[in-house]
């Protein structure tokens, strides 16, 4: 399990490399670290802005909150030899979606929380936000399921600034001075009491997920000093709207062509 895979010296080396690299390019500001329990199994839920923010998230948790970061990460990342070796040596948990291995990985997450007392990082959205203004979007229910099945607290954390370091969709990071200000704010554990001891139905999981994301969004609104949207961006609905718009455009072209042919 996670503790057995961890290597103290690899953790020491990795933490110092990441700290030095981030010191060169970022100016972190951390608030609310007292809300992260000093020990015991804890789910730490973050919004997702950039493919680089796992580094700033790990920095916040390890240095700011004094907890070792355990990520649930896409199995594809484990295909990179060096990354695979480091991930295994530092207790990270790969998840292969849509397979029997995913069930095994979720069992490993539960063990990390209940037996090993780990602090496990989750991005409930599952990917970088596609909201045009970078607000947290709708999320998957996996975090709520694990929280309710294990009883582990969910600490919501919002952050802002990584989009200036590497915007989603770009490949080249913006590393030139000045250092980018990265702000984090953690809140008290999400109140999930009303969902506990209930059957884990889709409705219960969805409502619990919405509660988690509402707390993360409220924290980001405080960081930004802005009002979040009334409803979070829904990537599925956006894609459906794009498909319908494309179909309407295609149908419009067909009707116009038919009219031209008839006139000819």
Q: pLDDT tens digits for the chain (264 residues)?
A: 444 556 787 888 889 999 999 999 999 999 999 999 999 999 999 999 999 999 999 999 999 999 999 998 776 666 766 777 787 788 888 876 655 556 777 888 999 999 999 999 999 999 999 999 999 999 999 999 999 999 999 999 999 999 999 999 999 999 999 999 999 999 999 999 999 989 999 999 999 999 999 999 999 999 999 999 999 999 999 999 888 888 887 777 666 666 666 665
CA-to-CA separations, 133 to 54, 177, 214, 227, 248, in angstroms, rounded: 20, 24, 16, 11, 27
58-104 pLDDT tens trace: 999 999 999 999 998 776 666 766 777 787 788 888 876 655 556 77
123-151 pLDDT tens trace: 999 999 999 999 999 999 999 999 999 99
Contacting residues for 20 by C-beta, under 8 A, at least 6 apart: none
First to last CA, the chain: 74
CA-to-CA separations, 150 to 2, 42, 118, 190, 200, in angstroms, rounded: 17, 10, 12, 15, 12
């Amino acid at each position: 399990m996670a503790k057995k895979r961890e290597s103290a010296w690899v953790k020491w080396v990795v933490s110092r490399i990441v700290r030095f690299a981030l010191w060169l390019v970022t100016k972190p500001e951390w608030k609310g670290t007292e809300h992260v329990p000093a020990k015991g199994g804890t789910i730490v839920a973050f919004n997702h802005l950039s493919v680089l923010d796992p580094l700033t998230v790990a920095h916040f948790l390890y240095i700011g909150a004094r907890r070792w970061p355990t990520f649930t990460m896409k199995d594809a990342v484990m295909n990179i030899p060096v990354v695979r070796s480091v991930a295994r040596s530092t207790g990270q948990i790969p998840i292969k979606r849509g397979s029997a291995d995913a069930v095994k990985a979720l069992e490993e997450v539960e063990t990390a929380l209940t037996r090993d007392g780990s602090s496990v990082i989750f991005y409930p959205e599952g990917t970088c936000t596609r909201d045009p203004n970078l607000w947290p979007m709708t999320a998957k229910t996996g975090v709520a399921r694990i929280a309710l099945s294990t009883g582990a607290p969910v600490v919501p954390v919002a952050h802002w600034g990584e989009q200036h370091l590497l915007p989603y969709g770009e490949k080249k990071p913006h590393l030139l001075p000045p250092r980018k200000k990265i702000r984090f704010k953690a809140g008290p554990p999400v109140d999930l009491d009303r969902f506990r001891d209930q059957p884990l139905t889709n409705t219960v999981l969805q409502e619990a997920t919405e509660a988690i994301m509402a707390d993360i969004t409220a924290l980001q609104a405080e960081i930004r000093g802005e009002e979040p949207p009334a409803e979070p961006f829904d990537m599925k609905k956006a894609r459906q709207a794009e498909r319908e718009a494309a179909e309407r455009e295609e149908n419009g072209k067909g009707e116009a062509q038919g009219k031209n042919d008839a006139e000819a």
